[in-house]
């Protein structure tokens, strides 16, 4: 619930920034970047150090893109939104990879345990 409230407030703040002067941000790029950030958070990127780093980069890049747009630099803002989306997607993939590696380690450990049990059985 808190995450939902945070997203709604972020969306409201974003809309307030867009309503002010400056260059217009490409709303499709904003939505793509925000969707990628949300997807990374949903798979637990905040809990993985490497993934969390890229997730934070994505959030920082989105904030910088808003600042650039407010300053009238829509072109560089759009480029930063592309970077933010890429960093968020990388964050999501890093988190998923770590989760899959953890599952593989657990499966290997289980195999080792079963192998020991089988060798110990008469």
105 Cβ partners below 8 Å, 6+ apart?
Answer: none
pLDDT at 73 over 90: yes
Helix, strand, coil percent content, the chain, rounded in steps of 5: 85, 0, 15
The residue among 6 and 112 whose pLDDT is bigger is: 112
Q: Is 19 exposed, middle or buried (0-12, 13-18, 19+ CB in 10 A)?
A: exposed
pTM recorded for the entire structure: 0.71
Pick the CATH number of 2-120 from 3.40.190.10, 3.40.30.10, 1.20.140.10, 1.20.1270.390: 1.20.1270.390
Using one digit for the tens of pLDDT, what is the confidence trace for 101-119? 999 999 999 999 999 989 8
């Amino acid at each position: 619930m808190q995450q939902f409230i945070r997203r709604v407030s972020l969306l409201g703040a974003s809309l307030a920034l867009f309503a002010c002067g400056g260059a217009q941000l490409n709303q499709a790029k904003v939505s793509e970047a925000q969707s990628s950030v949300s997807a990374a958070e949903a798979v637990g990127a905040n809990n993985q150090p490497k993934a969390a780093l890229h997730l934070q980069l994505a959030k920082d890049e989105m904030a910088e893109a808003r600042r650039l747009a407010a300053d009238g630099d829509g072109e560089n803002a759009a480029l930063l939104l592309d970077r933010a989306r890429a960093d968020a997607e990388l964050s999501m993939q890093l988190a998923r990879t770590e989760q899959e590696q953890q599952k593989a380690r657990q499966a290997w450990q289980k195999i080792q345990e079963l192998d020991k049990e089988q060798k110990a059985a008469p």
